[in-house]
């Protein structure tokens, strides 16, 4: 058993116990429990349907969880509009984290503004500038990072735990919807009249930056429309791929 002491909380956290506790709670209970552990709790939303479910729970229950989004500068207009709509609906602030203009200029000079189509390296470099660096700012000093990752989103996410230690960021990552399937998400959104991105209704189950997301065909995996030109089933933007597996984290954070 490994006990973790995330930043800015005086509590030592046993991630295995936390995972088990969260498994026994409903969504609001999970969020509320984590918010009560102390320290800074940040939820990063992409405004996708899963994240809207979490934002609605935070807003409805007035939970002391910061809501942040990575405004990459390449989002769909529908996504940008949904940020404001969601703020108004739940009377919350969604803090936008932007890339640095100097980084964007340097990227464009080296690869071209849309150089991400040319190679995996160029794509990762763009995600680094527009997503990973702003994410690092959003999570600075946080003890807990809430995400909307689900096991059913892709094979790569099939073993997503409720709680895992993120050694790279020295915080505990909480995947509050890990066990929800897409049908449950849609039913909840419908019951609660939660605002969602209209692109979901046009064949986009997973929505990222506009130039890197396309609609999927019937029968394709949920994330098939993300970086579709790359022939790699594990393609991710890098926000979540640094995570070691639950078991590895628990056995030895230093092995990551
Ligand atoms: Fe750049 Fe595409 Fe990554 Fe967005 S998803 S940061 S546009 S490579």
Q: Which two tokens stand for residue 190?
A: 């419908």
| 190 CA to centre of ligand 1 in angstroms | 30
Least confident of 2-16, 72-86, 181-195: 2-16
Which residue has better confidence, 187 or 236? 187
- In angstroms, rounded to a whole number, what is the distance separating the alpha carbons of residues 228 and 212? 8
Does 74 sit in the ligand 1 pocket, CB within 6 Å?
A: yes
Set 126, 127, 212, 237: catalytic member: 237
pLDDT for position 6: 74
pLDDT for position 223: 83
Per-residue pLDDT at 249 exceeds 50: no
114-124 burial, b if ≥16 CB within 10 A, otherwise e?
A: ebbeeeeebbb
Please report where in the chains the tokens 């399937």 appear, as a residue: 181
Please report where in the chains the tokens 């449950």 appear, as a residue: 184
In the chain, % of residues over pLDDT 90:
75
Smallest CA-to-CA distance from 194 within 23, 34, 58 is with 58
Smallest CA-to-CA distance from 215 within 245, 223, 188, 181 is with 223
Mean model confidence pLDDT for the chain = 89
- Closest atom of ligand 1 relative to the 114 alpha carbon: 7
Q: Does domain 15-246 have CATH number 3.40.50.620?
A: yes
Which residue has better confidence, 160 or 231? 160
- Closest atom of ligand 1 relative to the 124 alpha carbon: 8
Does 211 sit in the ligand 1 pocket, CB within 6 Å?
A: yes
User: What percent of the chain is helix, strand and coil (3-state, nearest 5)?
Assistant: 45, 15, 40
Catalytic residue check, 237? yes
pLDDT in tens, 7-55: 667 678 899 999 999 999 999 999 999 999 989 999 999 999 999 999 9
Nearest CA owner, ligand 1 atom 6: 127
- In angstroms, rounded to a whole number, what is the distance separating the alpha carbons of residues 98 and 135? 9
């Amino acid at each position: 058993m490994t006990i973790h002491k995330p930043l800015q909380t005086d509590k030592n956290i046993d991630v295995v116990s936390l995972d088990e506790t969260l498994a026994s709670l409903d969504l609001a209970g999970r969020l509320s429990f984590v918010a009560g552990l102390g320290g800074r709790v940040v939820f990063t939303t992409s405004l996708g349907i899963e994240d809207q479910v979490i934002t609605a729970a935070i807003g409805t229950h007035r939970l002391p969880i910061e809501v942040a989004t990575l405004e990459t500068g390449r989002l769909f207009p529908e996504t940008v509009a949904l940020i404001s709509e969601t703020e108004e609906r739940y009377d919350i602030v969604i803090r936008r984290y932007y890339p640095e203009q100097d980084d964007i200029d340097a990227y464009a000079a080296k690869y071209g503004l849309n150089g991400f189509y040319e190679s995996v390296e160029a794509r990762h470099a763009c995600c680094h500038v527009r997503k990973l660096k702003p994410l690092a700012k959003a999570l600075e000093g946080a003890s807990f990072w809430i995400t909307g990752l689900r096991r059913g989103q892709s094979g790569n996410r099939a073993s997503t735990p409720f709680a895992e230690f993120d050694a790279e960021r020295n915080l505990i990552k909480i995947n509050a919807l890990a066990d929800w399937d897409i049908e449950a998400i849609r039913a909840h959104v419908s019951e609660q009249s939660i605002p969602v991105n209209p692109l979901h209704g046009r064949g986009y189950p997973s929505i990222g930056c506009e130039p890197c997301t396309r609609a999927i065909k019937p029968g394709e995996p949920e994330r098939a429309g993300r970086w579709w030109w790359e022939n790699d089933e594990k393609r991710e933007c890098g926000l979540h791929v640094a995570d070691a597996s639950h078991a590895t984290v628990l056995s030895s954070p230093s092995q990551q």
